[in-house]
Every structure is written in structure tokens, then in C-alpha cells.
Amino acid sequence: MNRIQIEKNRLDLSYQRNLQLLNMVILIGAGSFVTYLVALVLDFSKLSKYTFILTIIALITFIFYRNIDRNLREISERIRDL
């Protein structure tokens, strides 16, 4: 194997890892939203607490999503440049 193929394989593995992280972040975000809805059905009196917690989780999820998406774009460009 030459050096370019090794670098491409390394970048492919990094891309796959970031895709797995992205899937995990999306699942956590969707799961949090479903949990929020169920919690409201069970106890609507705590709407402000639940909304605050969901907002924080959504913000953290969005930040992770944006960083992982940026990483995926950079890796894709590096693979294209090889």
C-alpha cells in the first residue's frame, strides 16, 4: 500500500467515526424530545423546568451537531484533495 491509500483509509475511518457520533447525537436529541413530551403528559405542572432542561439539551446537541458536521465536511474535502 502506498502512502496515499493509507491516508485515504485513515480519513475514511475518521469519517465513519464522525458519522457514528452524528447518529448518536441525533438519537440523543430525538430521545430527549420524546422524553420531554412524555414528561409533560405525566406532570404538566413542571412545564417550565422541563422546557428549561430541554432547551439546554437542545443547545448542547446543536453545538455537537455543528462541530461534527464541520468535521465531516473537512474530512470530505481532504479525501477529495488526495
| Segments making up each domain of the chain, as ranges | 3-81
Instruction: Report if pTM > 0.85.
Output: no
- At residue 76, the 3 state secondary structure works out as helix
User: pLDDT tens digits, residue range 34-52?
Assistant: 999 999 999 989 999 999 9
pLDDT, tens digit, for every residue of 1-26? Answer: 788 899 999 999 999 999 999 999 99
- How is residue 6 written as a grid cell? 493509507
CA angle 43, 45, 29 (to 5 degrees): 60
Report how far apart, in Å, the C-alpha atoms of 6 and of each of 13, 27, 45, 74 are.
Answer: 11, 32, 57, 18
